[in-house]
Amino acid sequence: MAIMTKAQAKNFAEMDDFMLELCDFLKSKSVIDATTHRSILLKGFSRMVDCLQEKKVISAREAKEAMDKGFTSLVYALAK
Amino acid sequence: MSNGKALVYNQEKCTGCRSCVVGCSLYHDGECGKVVSRVAVVRNERFGESFVVGCDMCTDAPCAAVCPTGACAMDTVAGITKINAEKCIGCKECAMACPFGVINMHYKTGKAFKCDLCEGRDAGPVCADWCPSGAITYTSPNIAFKAKRRVKLMERLEAVKAGEEG
Amino acid sequence: MYGWAGQRLRVDLSTGTITKEPLSYEYRRKWIGGRGFNSDIIYNEVPANLDPFDPKARVCFGVGPVSGTAAPSTGRVTVTCKSPLTGGFGDSNMGGHWGAELKYAGYDQIVVQGRAKHPVYIWVDDDKVEIRDARHLWGKFPREADQMIKEELGDEDIHIVLIGPAGENMVRFACTFNDVWRAAGRTGHGGVIGSKNLKGIAVRGSGTVKIANPKAMMDVCNRLRQTFKPDPMKIGLYEFGSLCLINVANRDGWFPWRNFQGGAHPLANNMSGETHAKTVLKHREGCFACPICCGRFTHIKEGKWAGEEFGGPEYEHAVPTGPRVGIIEDANDIWHNARLTNDYGMDGIETGGVISAAMEWYEKGLITTKETGGLELEWGNAEVVDKLIPMIATRKGFGAILAEGADRASDKLGLGDKGHYYTLTTRGMTLPGDDPRGLGFGYGLSFAMGTRGGCDHLRSLCCLELSGALYPGLNTKILGDERPNKPVTTVGKPYMVFYEENQKATTDCLQVCCFTTHWSYAVLTPDQVEYLNAVTGLDFTEEEFQEIGERVYNLERAYWARQMSGAREDVVPERFTTEPMPQGVDFQTNVGVVFPLSEMLKKYYKYREYEPGTGFPGERKLKQLGLDYVAKDLAPLRSKYLSESEKKKKKYYY
């Protein structure tokens, strides 16, 4: 499910420290609520991936790839 | 030691961490503490010295010999004496007879309790399994002693080479 | 009760009153234990304007619900007070076995307040607590007093917390030990304990820790201990102690040479863990329930110090009165100096810090032998360091000035801002033997933002940028990116430090050793939640676990805010942000690097929700964490911090 443009994905992929910005973005798109936003920041990246998979924003395969390859793979999956 | 294995202690390796003590107490009593452990660690912290005191699995065990009720008796399959709590009358004779001070009286029951090689544990005694330094091993004594002879011999030969012995 | 003992012991040495205060479920759920309990007491009971040596000051010893259990490394204790060195929040952490014994005696925490009329020690024998005469122990090294107390009480198996002569003399960076050698080194609580006329606390505990779900506990503890067996950090630390880091430090340019003028030296290997193991290692030692056993016991065999022996040293204990003061040629001098700071009971890090500052003042001509009383403070002068350490501990001559800590010493000597440039402190405390231009930019950020006086590696211990590389995929799992697993990059560091600080804080509340969760990553947060729940029978989640760390961290930050310490003081010593790292060895990896703090600071503030202008914890965050009373305390102080009069003050200490 595309929730961002390819240009936005490229912007995220080039960030040095992306967690806060990406969480804020997901909240602004109502993909996650405030509680989940907080939960992700406390638990880390794996929580973000799990959450996006639960909500079917990304597939199981995309989730696995995100855990293998990191956030750049994730943001491009969110731009598909 | 009928299945060929015994608890063999390498005192010079003991770090005093008490992983054995805390693992033993958890496994047997479901709570953690020195007072319910069947193995003890004695330390002289000033000198950095640590020693593990565990059952030596005597073949001619004084603890069994002195027991008036047969509560403490040799399990010939495991090769270690075990205490049957139901038969134990808490007379403390076994605790006093043990040359190493390994047996204690349980704070809940007043009865004697001792090492039973973690009866029922597939991976064998917790103390040997968890010991981080190899101070406690559960192994064939003959193989352990052979290895020790070799190590000690090499140390002595090194010392001779270094000109320290005569 | 599962896990916790359920009560704190409060001892008032002025009145001799001993009270046992029950700890409610809500309190234990909110703060967990250890550092959490301690920080709460210090925030509530030791106000900003109190002199740390005042009898009304408190010193706390805290352990947690898993202390004394079979989880990996559960013997640790946090010691907390208002620091005489910085004047702000201070704590330290020690290993050994005293913490487990305190739990077995039936207490989660001891709070000491007041001042005894003459030297005393406290004897905690399960539920029997006595205050006993210690006049015969005053002046003794911890190893002597330990033996005397054991003989007096007729039990060689008890565990004792002790201070040395430095604590008795209220040296501002005196420390405390348990089991003779296991130090809680930093922030000077040894002096607070000494100011109360307290020599130590002996404990005997015949109880046990009750476990809610023994089978689940056995499963997780067994699984973790099997994981440790092939763990690369465990193997390195067991074999060579924390001194296993020396050659890595040298290669990556964080080896502290001459007050951090340099980051590498050709002779560093003289003091490496490998060399130590071959020459002076007598025993490897382990703290309670530890699968790693990184402890050392050293016996010097040759040279003028032959025959000396002591527990330790750690990396951080050996380098400050070694290469930091220019000593590297004869490692026995380094081991001997570590023995001295142990016996006299002073933080090795701060001792080396203050001597190396003085040596740099001497080098730069800011002081001469006139000020030093004839001592020639040349780099590497082992003879002078050997003389100076006891002088500091006993406050004699030039030692009396240095005993005040480097920044106060600089002021006493009238050296102005120039003197402060060389003290290498943040909020009044110096950094350990880790140069941020090499150890890592994460560490550097941690130094500026640490809540016990900056310059502190142990507030985050963000080893994801160091040993993290030994655990493929770990950085990705937590941070979403493998790139941060290198030290000299800013990539991903703000989030890394935020995560690791929270993690470390909760680890300090459970009270387990952070070497199991940082350095080694054999234990991860979900594992800790698993054993915490198995012990307590409760239902902590990973989020709650991290949130507790966040809560404790914000409380400590607020303690500083109350003392008008905030954004302007979030700095690291200028040496690191302005002087490029020189070359020390040809294989050094960080030549030319300066530490770019400002790039990361703003982002980190956002994660913490610190107020941009003041750097104070944000009101929304404080309320979210159940710290409404803290928000109330800080409300009138925010504008005060931003006032012109406040801005003009140069605060090197408080």
- The 10s digit of each residue's pLDDT in B39-55 is 999 999 999 999 999 99
Q: What's the mean per-residue pLDDT of chain A?
A: 96
Distance CA C576, CA C350 (A): 18
For residue B3, the model assigns a pLDDT of: 66
Which residues fall within 8 angstroms of residue C497, CB to CB, at 6 or more apart?
C442, C445, C446, C449, C460, C462, C600, C604
| Rounded CA separation C421/C577 (Å) | 12
Q: pLDDT tens digits for C313-349?
A: 999 999 999 999 999 999 999 999 999 999 999 999 9
β-bridge partners, C553: none
Q: What is the pLDDT of residue B37?
A: 98
Query: Is C367's pLDDT higher than 50?
Result: yes
Residue C424 lies in a domain: no
pLDDT in tens, C494-532: 999 999 999 999 999 999 999 999 999 999 999 999 999
Same domain, C407 and C454: no
On whether both B108 and B125 belong to a single domain, the answer is: no
Q: Is residue C252 scored above 80 in pLDDT?
A: yes
Phi-psi region of C530 (alpha: psi -120 to 50; beta: other; left: phi over 0): alpha
Closest residue by Cα to residue C105 from C6, C212, C27 = C6
Q: In angstroms, rounded to a whole number, what is the distance separating the alpha carbons of residues C401 and C299?
A: 32
Q: How many domains does chain B have?
A: 2
Whether residue C615 has pLDDT greater than 90: yes
Minimal-distance CA residue of chain C relative to B24: C70
Over residues C249-271, mean pLDDT: 98
* pLDDT tens readout for residues C522-568: 999 999 999 999 999 999 999 999 999 999 999 999 999 999 999 99
Of B17, B23, B26, nearest to C288 by CB-CB distance is: B17
- Whichever domain contains C243, its CATH number is 1.10.569.10
Residue C218 lies in a domain: no
Structure tokens at C96: 């050994």
Q: Could you give the percent of chain A with pLDDT greater than 70?
A: 100
User: Which residues on C lie below 8 Å from B49 (Cβ)?
Assistant: 283
Domain ranges in chain A? 6-77
Q: Averaged over A20-47, what is the pLDDT?
A: 97
E strand or H helix that includes residue C92: strand C89-94
Q: How far is CA C225 from CA B51, C220, C231, C240, C296, in A?
A: 21, 9, 10, 20, 21
**What confidence score (pLDDT) does residue B89 get?**
98
A44 touches chain C (CB under 8 A): yes
Contact C268, C323 (CB under 8 A): yes
Q: What is the pLDDT of residue B101?
A: 96
- Please compute Rg for chain B using Cα positions: 18
Contact status, residue B62 vs residue C109, Cβ threshold 8 Å: no
DSSP result, B65-119? HH-SSS-EEEETTTTEEEE-TTT-----HHHHH-TT---EE-TTT--EE---S-T
Q: How far is CA C517 from CA C185, C233, C472, C507, C523, in A?
A: 20, 11, 15, 8, 5
Its ipTM equals: 0.98
Question: Between C477, C480, C600, which is nearest A19 by CB?
Answer: C480
Does C427 score more than 90 pLDDT? yes
Q: Give bridge partners of residue B42 from the DSSP assignment.
A: B51
Look up the domain containing B50 and give its range: 1-54+119-166
Residues B17, C284: C-beta atoms closer than 8 Å: no
Q: What is the pLDDT at residue C279?
A: 97
Who contacts C614 (Cβ-Cβ below 8 Å, separation ≥6)?
C561, C566, C567, C638, C641, C642
Q: Please say if the pLDDT value at position B165 is more than 70.
A: no
Question: What domain range includes position C135?
Answer: 7-204
Q: What is the pLDDT of residue B69?
A: 98
Whether C487 and C594 share a structural domain:
yes
Query: How many whole angstroms separate alpha carbon B139 and alpha carbon B130?
Result: 14
Note the pLDDT of residue A80: 81
C336 and C446, same domain (yes or no): no
Residues B63 and B110 in one domain: yes
Contact residues on chain B for C284, CB-CB shorter than 8 A: 13, 15, 133
In this structure, what CATH number is given to the domain that contains residue B106?
3.30.70.20
C105 in a structural domain:
yes
C309: β partners: C299
Mean pLDDT confidence for C468-475: 94
**Contact by Cβ (8 Å): C204, C101:** yes
Touch between chain B and chain A: 3 or more Cβ pairs under 8 Å: no
For residue C479, tell me if it sits in a domain: yes
**For residue C599, what pLDDT is reported?**
87
Q: Is B67 in the same domain as B103? A: yes
- Beta carbons of C613 and C568 less than 8 angstroms apart: no
In this predicted model, what pLDDT tens digit does every residue of C164-199 receive, in sequence order? 999 999 999 999 999 999 999 999 999 999 999 999
**Which residues in chain C are closer than 8 Å to A48, comparing Cβ atoms?**
480
Whether residue C75 lies inside any domain: the answer is yes
| Phi, psi dihedrals of residue C40, rounded to the nearest 5° | -65, -45
Mean pLDDT of chain B: 95
Answer yes or no: do B96 and B146 share one domain. Answer: no
- Asked if residue B110 has pLDDT above 70, the reply is yes
- The encoded tokens of residue B44 equal 């002289």
Secondary structure of residue C449 in the 3-state scheme: helix
Q: Which of C413, C430, C456 is the last residue of a domain?
A: C413
Check whether B2 has a pLDDT greater than 60: no
Q: What is the mean pLDDT of chain C?
A: 97
Q: Do C477 and A46 lie within an 8 Å CB cutoff?
A: yes
**Same domain, residue pair C405 and C284:** yes
Are residue C200 and residue C236 in the same domain, yes or no? no
- Provide the pLDDT confidence category of residue A1 given band limits of 50, 70 and 90: confident
Q: How close C608 comes to chain A (CA, Å)?
A: 10
Section C388-417 average pLDDT = 97
What CATH number has the domain bearing residue C618?
Answer: 1.10.599.10
The pLDDT of residue C651: 87
Q: How far is CA C600 from CA A16, B79, C497, C498, C606, in A?
A: 10, 64, 10, 11, 10
Does residue C291 sit at the B interface (CB-CB below 8 Å)? Answer: yes
Task: Select the residue from C240, C283, C308, C342 to test the B interface by mutation, using most B Cβ atoms within 10 A.
Answer: C283
pLDDT of residue C453: 87
Parallel, antiparallel or unpaired: strands C309-311 and C295-299: antiparallel
DSSP characters over C156-204: TT-EEEEE-HHHHTT-TTB-EEETTTEEE-STTHHHHHHHTTEEEEEEE
| pLDDT tens-digit series, residues A35-80 | 999 999 999 999 999 999 999 999 999 999 999 999 999 999 999 8
**Res C550: pLDDT:** 98
Q: Domains in chain C: how many in total?
A: 3
DSSP symbols for C585-626: STT-S-TT----HHHHHHHHHHHHTB-TTT-PBPHHHHHHTT
Measured between beta carbons, the chain A residues lying within 8 angstroms of C600 are 17
Shortest distance between the Cα of A33 and any Cα of chain C, in A, equals 15
Flag whether pLDDT at C647 surpasses 50: yes
CB-based contact A42:C526 (threshold 8 Å): no
Q: pLDDT, tens digit, for every residue of C20-65?
A: 999 999 999 999 999 999 999 999 999 999 999 999 999 999 999 9
Quick check: C478 and A44 CB within 8 A? yes
**pLDDT single digits (tens) C157-172:** 999 999 999 999 999 9
Q: Which residues of A touch C491 (CB under 8 A)?
A: 16-17
Report H helices in C32-109: 35-45, 98-105
User: C121, C202 in Cβ contact below 8 A?
Assistant: yes
| C495 and C633 share one domain | yes
pLDDT of residue B1: 47
What DSSP element (H or E) covers C410? helix C406-412
| Mean pLDDT along residues A23-44 | 97
Structural domain contains residue C548: yes
Residue C399 and residue C292 in one domain: yes
Assess contact for B132 and C292: CB atoms under 8 A: yes
State whether the Cα torsion C156-C119-C191-C387 is positive or negative: negative
CATH number of the domain where residue C111 is located: 3.60.9.10
Residues of C whose CB is below 8 A from B32: 68-70, 208-209, 211
